[in-house]
Chains A and B, each alone.
Chain A
Amino acid sequence: MLYSYIKPTKKSAITKDFQLLALFFGISFTMVFGFYIFLVYMQSSLSSKKEEYIKESVALTKNIQNTKENIAIAKKQLALSQQMQTKNIILKDSIKNLFDLVPDTITLTQAKIESNALILYGSTPSKDIYNFMLQAPLRSIFHKTYTSFYPTQNGWYNFVSTNYLLEDELDE
């Protein structure tokens, strides 16, 4: 039974000093915890970035590889084109030389240029003109020369001249 006229005030074990202490501890803990959360977030963020960078790195490496292959192909193509260009130049020169070889009196109707052979089709007023004007330089150039004449109605001769370069003799 309560005998007092008045009720006692509520007493709190949490004194002002304790409250102050709790406040400081609370602030410190909050700061430490906040920093911990920040670190966790940063770690998570960096982990995801790392994965992206790894993927990017793999992609770039693959890209580099592809580029290298492309460069190699391009180089090959360049070499090929250069080779072809050289060959073309040689061929052009060869054709120029050939046409320089053919005198005015002889008419070429077809020329087949092969890797180690030259086949000429044409017409000549006479066999002698062909032999002296064209056959001689051809012989000086090619290792083997074969010529066939076919008389025409107008007294000229169509000829087929087959000229070969032998590889063995080329290597020598």
Chain B
Amino acid sequence: MFSSLYPKIFISIVVGLEKISIYCEIFSKNKLKKNFLKVFETSYLDNQVEAYIQECIKESPIYYIAMLDNSTMQGAFNSCDDATIRDMCDINKITYKCYDTWAYYTSKYDLELHQNEYKNIGLDLIYSPFVILANFFVDKIDLGIAMYALVEETFLTLVIFKNSKLLYSEHINMEYQKNKSPLNTKTQDDSQNLLEGIDLDSINLDSADSSFSNLVEIEEITFDDNGSLDEFDSLDDSTTHLDIQKVEEVLDHNYERFLFIQKALNSFYKDDSLESDFIETIYIADALEIDSNFRNYIKDELFLNVIIRSIDLPKEIAKLAKVEIDAI
């Protein structure tokens, strides 16, 4: 009865590699009164973050805290049938929820870990990145077959939909995968399809027998008189002041993502159990403001149409939380 007297507060938490984004929206009589975002240079809930959240929720007792699930052990099933899911994995170790004809899941242990970590302030909602991705591209999912990717700081969520039906899904923790050295996997068979990946070690630019001699000559990277790199004309003047190491990291991560997408496509095409039609388009929900190199990698190497939409993850989560709470 007294709830309508108080404003509603929605807080979304997105945990990155070395930062936590806390986004707060305050609604009064269903109208947005104010919203603000703060980023903390930490990856766990320390006193500072907790104090900030407590400060946000001080205004009203009606508050909801939502979080993006950053578990490594999460994914999606192409079916919502309980029996089918039981066949795929140990149902006692996961928590899954249905979304139309498919389901998304996460580790029960990780869920409890999240709730335990935030028990002082109370966690109300935990969302899967698959849900974020599906809702973000809800207008595109039923338009034929396409790949959808959510690019976060250390995660890459990939889904292939065909007319709203989920065909393939993968959730990649890039740091975890990097530690497992997936990028160093070498192919033994040189006659494998180019889509399987390029063996970097086998490339010999100086060799006359190299297949590159038949391709368009790769231009030598040169420096102009100002000391800037001609080829990287997408980098604006501000990046010239960046630490070269950071630039290298960004380029490295983009390439890593490209390789994961490439690997996912390979798996999709190779899997006989899936209805693997040819994919022409990839829709990317970009939470990082990735540069054009990533687009170019995909466009040039995978021959996909690339459509990138910027996504404000904390805002999306808060929006989802509000819709869910209003529906309850």
Interface residues of A (CB under 8 A from B): 1-6, 8-9, 11-15, 18
Contact = CB atoms under 8 A, between A and B. Distances in A.
B126 A12 contact: no
Contacts of B131: 3
B176 interface: no
A5 B106 contact: yes
**Which one of B2, B99, B106, B135 has the greatest number of beta carbons of chain A within 10 Å?**
B2
A3 to B, nearest CB: 5
Given A4-B125, A6-B126, A12 B325 contact: no
Contacts of A18: 2
Contacts of A1: 99, 327
A3 B327 contact: no
Given A3-B97, A4-B127, A6-B123, A12 B61 contact: yes
Contact of A3 (B63, B99, B122): B99
Given A3-B99, A6-B124, A15-B61, 10 more contacts: A2-B97, A3-B97, A4-B127, A6-B111, A8-B64, A11-B62, A13-B5, A13-B6, A14-B61, A18-B2
A2 B126 CA distance: 11
B95 interface: yes
B229 to A, nearest CB: 44
A8 B2 contact: no
Contact of B127 (A3, A8, A9): A3
B324 interface: yes
**Interface size of B as a range:** 20 to 34
Contacts of A3: 97, 99, 127-128, 131, 135, 320, 324
A74 B6 CA distance: 90
Given A13-B1, A13-B2, A13-B5, A2 B327 contact: yes
Q: Is chain B's interface secondary structure helix, strand, loop, or mixed overall? A: mixed
A71 B289 CA distance: 121
B3 interface: yes
Contacts of B126: 4-6
A8 B3 contact: no
Interface string B55-74: 00000011110100100000
Interface string B83-115: 000000000000101010000001000010001
Interface string B107-144: 00001000100000011111110010001000000000
B328 interface: yes
Interface string B288-328: 00000000000000000000000000000000110011011
A1 to B, nearest CB: 8
Contacts of B324: 2-4, 8
30 contacts: A2-B324, A2-B327, A2-B328, A3-B131, A3-B135, A3-B320, A3-B324, A4-B66, A4-B124, A4-B125, A4-B321, A5-B69, A5-B95, A5-B106, A5-B127, A6-B124, A6-B125, A6-B126, A8-B325, A9-B122, A9-B124, A11-B63, A11-B64, A12-B61, A13-B1, A13-B2, A13-B5, A13-B61, A13-B62, A14-B2
Contacts of A6: 111, 115, 123-126
A14 B62 CA distance: 10
Nearest to A2: B324
A3 B95 CA distance: 12
A13 B2 CA distance: 6
A8 B122 CA distance: 9
Contacts of B327: 1-2
A73 B272 CA distance: 136
A20 to B, nearest CB: 14
Nearest to B1: A13
Nearest to A8: B124
Nearest to A3: B131
A3 B324 CA distance: 7
Contacts of A12: 61
A70 to B, nearest CB: 76
A2 B135 CA distance: 12
B139 to A, nearest CB: 17
A5 B244 CA distance: 41
Contacts of B124: 4, 6, 8-9
Contacts of A9: 122, 124
A61 B137 CA distance: 102
